[in-house]
Amino acid sequence: MEWIQKEFSLKARPRGFHLITRDVLEQLPELREIEIGILQLFIQHTSASLTINENADPDVRGDMERHFNAAVPENAPYYEHTLEGSDDMPAHIKASILGPSLSIPVGRGQLRLGTWQGIYLCEHRNHGGARRIVATLFGKRK
């Protein structure tokens, strides 16, 4: 069994839900050598998150953004943490709801995602900047 851990950055993206499966795979060529294992991804930020969802129809990503904006609005009168902008406190709440990490099975050198599943970066800030990911891969080599 082998452990591999890498830290990498994702380029800055606008607020919204972004498919990053390809970005993750490009950073982890070692994954192709794993017969069976698990990939754990962790985002090192409190105003962005990771999730898995629909990888084909971009309307899903837009609908996710609209839903979360309605569910967690900006400028709620009860927010006290407002010094970093009207999008900051809602970003923290959205990041807590979705979470900072994912665990994905690996088999035969591939992520064992379902046919229509992809990894999303959920950028909850208007100008969040580059985002850092820690990827920990554990598994048995082929």
**CATH classification code of 2-73+84-141:** 2.60.120.460
**pLDDT tens digits along 63-116:** 999 999 999 999 999 999 999 999 999 999 999 999 999 999 999 999 999 999
Q: What is the pTM of this model?
A: 0.96
CB 138 within 8 A of CB 31: no
**pLDDT tens digits along 15-47:** 999 999 999 999 999 999 999 999 999 999 999
Q: How far apart are the first and last CA of the chain?
A: 10
